[in-house]
Structure 1
């Protein structure tokens, strides 16, 4: 398996704090069947600033250590930039690191809302040749209330990635239910760990895929897994026609 979103690089954000944490995460990832991880440290989110060249250097250093420790895992370079007014300009300047130097670009929204300029910026990124991937939309409070916001983004060409832990209920029932709603509406294209450590924010990918297979069948699992493989190779991923999330009735009332 390939994990396209993980905070495994040591000492640069709220993920692994030192190399021993990174190695522990790597060993657990291999146990779960993960063979490739794209390291995606936070960038420009108000707390962390991780320039492209620093990430590439850290990835090379970690790969060397994994080889030395005989841990069968490959780390690829990536970044999780927060959406902001300078993002497009920074992408144009080559200051933002895409996923494994492909056209695919992670985009992190604020946890509390969706900025009004989001849809336009995502469109502008596509005009410049990038395919934006909205990370963990199921955990965004405004999307929880108005999932049609994500529909509008996906309808206009953006992609989205669910957190494996959300599928497993690690973020609560409401988030888990929305995760399933988004899958059923063809509004997500990847499952990734967003792992930060081996304790509270671990991988959970194997459990997530078991849950998805039990609910939707093995073909859905294959779709998500193959999309991650296609992404790493810079190829077009599979997309179904997006739909609006159906509003659920509660005691017979919408």
Structure 2
């Protein structure tokens, strides 16, 4: 009996032209992503080999653990841009926003309008995987009162919702856009997350995709998404990501 390996699609052929990764942790030394400048460049170069050359990287802003500010983030972004130029890496575009934990500190930042957006009024937000804030829908309402549109990072990873699927529709009705972690289609976060991602895809609830890359191990695992099935499921979402965040060309 012969066993044939499942057909794989190289990631350089998987991502559409102009694809923008809107969720990653590539700035050096300010969260649990890239450890230093060398690590930042190595991650970017590896992703470029996959055909991902446009980034809106999103360091955590999370209380005292990652007390990043727009000034810190913009400073680190400039370091990375300068290093890319220094190394004559000219085919990369990189901007920065943030991934905001929806907590009391976020409400303070929101009140002060100290928010870094992905683009225009779109803000990447997250919450505890196990215990969403009791005032979640109030936070989402306040966010939109301020003129922002929430993009909920990796909704498939919120374990407390896995047995209450109706809450996803409630979040959409409350104005949330959903961003899929591509790594959720692998075993990276466990079978429960993978299954929930598949269900959300089937229900057509995702608006955008991102890699949520933190380190080289993530990029090794990312290779596994290159299948015909995944490409079929993700093509329109990747296209919408390009259309919303891509550079406008004449």
- TM-score scaled by structure 2? 0.84
Residue number among 39, 44, 58 corresponding to 2:76 in the alignment: 58
Is the aligned partner of 1:42 residue 2:60?
yes
Q: Determine the structure 2 residue equivalent to 1:240.
A: none
Q: Determine the structure 2 residue equivalent to 1:246.
A: none
CA distance in 1, matches of 2:163, 2:72: 37
Contact 1:8 1:22 in 2 (8 A): yes
CA distance in 2, matches of 1:157, 1:33: 31
CA distance in 1, matches of 2:220, 2:137: 30
Runs of 4+ in 1 over 4 A off after TM superposition: 203-207
Pairwise CA distance, 1:207: 4.3
- 168-177 or 34-43: which moved more? 168-177
Is the aligned partner of 1:32 residue 2:54?
no
- TM-score scaled by structure 1? 0.82
Contact 1:138 1:175 in 2 (8 A): yes
CA RMSD of aligned residues (A): 2.2
Query: What 5-or-longer segments of structure 2 have no aligned partner?
Result: 1-18
Contact 1:88 1:121 in 2 (8 A): yes
Q: Determine the structure 2 residue equivalent to 1:243.
A: none
Is the aligned partner of 1:221 residue 2:234?
yes
CA distance 1:40–1:128, shift in 2 (3 Å): same
CA distance in 2, matches of 1:156, 1:204: 33
Contact 1:80 1:108 in 2 (8 A): yes
Q: Determine the structure 2 residue equivalent to 1:68.
A: 86
Contact 1:113 1:143 in 2 (8 A): no
Structure with higher RCO (Cα < 8 A, 6+ apart):
2
Is the aligned partner of 1:143 residue 2:156?
no
CA distance in 2, matches of 1:3, 1:205: 13
CA distance in 2, matches of 1:155, 1:234: 29
Residue number among 177, 182, 187 corresponding to 2:200 in the alignment: 182
Contact 1:194 1:203 in 2 (8 A): no
Contact 2:22 2:56 in 1 (8 A): yes
Q: Determine the structure 2 residue equivalent to 1:82.
A: 101
The alignment covers a number of residue pairs equal to 229
CA distance in 1, matches of 2:153, 2:220: 15
Pairwise CA distance, 1:26: 0.7
CA distance in 2, matches of 1:76, 1:204: 24
Contact 1:167 1:179 in 2 (8 A): yes
Contact 1:138 1:162 in 2 (8 A): yes
- Three-state SS of the structure 1 residue aligned to 2:152 is strand
CA distance 1:121–1:180, shift in 2 (3 Å): same
